[in-house]
Structure 1
Amino acid sequence: MTDTVWAPDGSNLVVHADNAEYLPTLPDGAFTLIYVDPPFNTGRPQLRQETRMVANAGGSGDRVGFKGRSYDTIKGALHRYDDAFSDYWSFLEPRLVEAWRLLADDGTLYLHLDYREVHYAKVMLDAIFGRECFLNEIIWAYDYGARARNRWPTKHDNILVYVKNPAKYHFDNAEVDREPYMAPGLVTPAKRELGKLPTDVWWHTIVSPTGKEKTGYPTQKPEGLVRRVVAASSRPGDWCLDFFAGSGTLGAVAAKLGRKFVCVDQNQPAIDIMLKRLGAHATLASHQPN
């Protein structure tokens, strides 16, 4: 691990550091896109146990799969982080101020939260960026999780989108993936084949617990979700930043789309997962405060 300094022509970085200490070392206007998925302040620890299935030829495994095949469940590492802050806003606000400073004049911030704090975040970002710099609130809707009986089950997250300069920001919706029409019989065959552009409501499944994309990190976000963000709000060769990087989904997507990236996290399990996922595309760095 090296105390690598970011450079415009340098390599992608996975940085093991406290973001509050690392972000001030980066230069003004360095990033076209900042996507951050901070802890949601749920008040409880987030846990994820890695598991994998191994065939049991003797038929005595603890799980039965396709066509009655027997499997043993092998448990791996348990990943955890605490998602409870006594003063959430004193934690988040200085980091969002840094995000404003680090955005290029044509840059965009995507702040991924949920219903607990998103309305307070909107007021805070209006103050930091200016209300005229608010671009969208994206609703990520999914069909997994909550099964409440005494209220409407919560099945979405919120992503606030702010631009540094409302007259100059980059946005290219032609680069994003298209969706099938909900009423395909009402459009022409050509339109049906092409699909429609996404709106501000994105229907996308979570990361499958058994899929190849799963890293075992709690609250991992799917690549398909972040791909829209990166494709629409950056260009090949642009720098992208995630300073609550977690499993490194922003870095994985940026690498596939030809963008440069910096992924920052202070938790060792996150760094271990990102090195496994991004090691061929990034240099591991650390930051030691003076």
Structure 2
Amino acid sequence: MNSQQSNQLIQGEMLDVIGSIAPQSINLLYLDPPFAAGRVFADSAGAFDDRWQGGLTEYLAWLEQRLVAARRIVAEHGSLFLHLDRRAVHYAKVLLDQTWGFECFRNEIIWHYTGGGRARRSFSHKHDTILWYSKHPQHWTFNLQAMRQPYKASSGFAKAGIRSAAGKRYLPHPDGTPVDDVWDIPMLNPMAAERLGYPTQKPERLLERIILAASNSGDLVADLCCGSGTTAAVAQRLGRCWIAADQSADALALVRGRLRQQAAEWQETLIQPQPASFAAKR
């Protein structure tokens, strides 16, 4: 890791945390904010309130304020990955096109998963959407080689030199096929070893793919709605520096325990809320 950077664990509301971070210092910013779900999420190790008294209008004003502010802290060749779902991602896409620039839009990533409940009056909801924007319209980090995955045996490419019925010889890339923008990564099941009991906890495999794709060893990765600390844990394992922030003391207690198991070292900061901030939600 870069010796001039130190890992940071921050308790504070996202907008206030953004204001405390140096300009253009973050190489990869992953944001997993509330989804405007209209309910309280609770599990054995934590909870957060995703209800909005002013409805969608209040939520979008809250989100826009933070997306605009976040651009200042992302490095010139850095990236933002914004994780939402069907309820508000289309509004967020417009907000980001207006504030970060349509020319900086890189990908709409579909995280497809199975499990969970089944809808009775509509198609079941089995994906989230992650919007990737670069800070610069022409230059950004993308590690294609790190994004290759093994060929499936059923694909016909599993073995180099295989011939089709027509006699065509397939010469696949030795490291596998490039990853596309639909990611089939399972959600954490109740018995998963990495599950900590925090609501909406994301799997390490999902964050590993993002971090490997859009950052390099020693880069600074930030998650300002860190919840259970998956981003920080994966960044630590992959040799990145990290900033993990959340307004919840319970969430940060969970993160501390998780990172201690990795023998991580960090500095801690408590940021008092500023009166001008919208009501904190996570």
Q: Shorter chain as normaliser: what TM range?
A: 0.7 to 0.9
Cα drift, residue 176 of structure 1:
2.9
| Partners of 1:240 and 1:261 within 8 A in 2 | yes
- Matched residue, 2:269: 285
- The reply to whether residue 89 of structure 1 matches residue 48 of structure 2 is no
> Which of the residues 194, 212, 223 maps onto 2:193?
212
How big is the shift at 1:192? 8.5
TM-aligned CA deviation for residue 209 of structure 1: 1.3
**Gap regions ≥5 residues in structure 1:** 1-6, 50-76
Q: 1:203 & 1:180 partners in 2: Cα distance?
A: 14
SS state of the match for residue 130, structure 1?
helix
Alignment equivalent of 1:176, drawn from 138, 147, 163? 147
- 2: CA distance between counterparts of 1:179 and 1:207? 22
1:155-166, aligned counterparts within 5 Å? 155-166=126-137
Task: Work out the CA distance in 2 between the residues paired with 1:116 and 1:182.
Answer: 36
> CA–CA distance in 1 between the matches of 2:148 and 2:204?
12
Q: Does the 8 A contact of 1:275 with 1:284 survive in 2?
A: no
1:80 corresponds, among 25, 40, 47, to: 47
CA offsets 1:51-79 (integer angstroms, 9 cap, x no match): xxxxxxxxxxxxxxxxxxxxxxxxxx5x2
Residues 247 and 177 (structure 1), Cα distance of their counterparts in 2 relative to 1, 3 Å cut: farther
Tell me the equivalent position of 2:247: 266
Task: Say if 1:179 and 1:198, in contact at 8 Å, map to a contact too.
Answer: no
Residues 181, 8 of structure 1: CA spacing in aligned structure 2 closer, same or farther, 3 A cutoff?
same
Over residues 228-264 of structure 1, what are the superposed CA-to-partner deviations in whole Å (9 max), with x where a residue is unaligned?
1100100111101111110111101100110000001
Question: Which residue identity is paired with 1:112?
Answer: H
Q: Distance in 2 between matches of 1:265 and 1:213?
A: 20
Query: What does 1:81-230 align with in structure 2 at a 5 Å threshold?
Result: 81-85=48-52, 86=54, 87-176=58-147, 178-181=149-152, 183-185=154-156, 188-189=159-160, 191=172, 194-230=175-211
**Paired residue total:** 256
Question: Is the contact made by 1:252 and 1:278 (CA closer than 8 Å) also made in structure 2?
Answer: yes
Once the 2 structures are TM-superposed, how far is the Cα of residue 149 of structure 1 from its aligned partner? 2.5
RMSD of Structure 2 on Structure 1 (CA):
2.0
Do residues 238 (structure 1) and 219 (structure 2) align? yes
Greater share of strand: 1
Match of 1:42 in 2: 37
User: Is contact 1:171-1:233 (8 Å) kept?
Assistant: yes
Identity %: 39
Does the CA contact (< 8 Å) of 2:12 and 2:273 recur in 1? no
Q: CA deviation at 1:112?
A: 0.2
Give 1:185 deviation, angstroms: 2.3
**Unaligned stretches of 5+ in structure 2?**
162-171, 275-282
Secondary structure of 1:136's aligned partner: strand
1:15 aligns with 2:10: yes
Distance 1:8 1:112, change over 3 A: farther
**Greater CA deviation, 147-156 or 174-183?**
174-183
Post-superposition Cα deviations, 1:79-110, rounded to whole Å, max 9, x if no partner, equal 21111123101211111112211111110100
TM-score normalised over the length of structure 1: 0.83
Distance of 1:177 and 1:35 partners within structure 2: 21
Structure 1 CA distance for aligned equivalents of residues 3 and 63 of structure 2: 26
2:168 corresponds in structure 1 to none
Separation (CA, whole Å) in 2 of partners of 1:161 and 1:260:
20
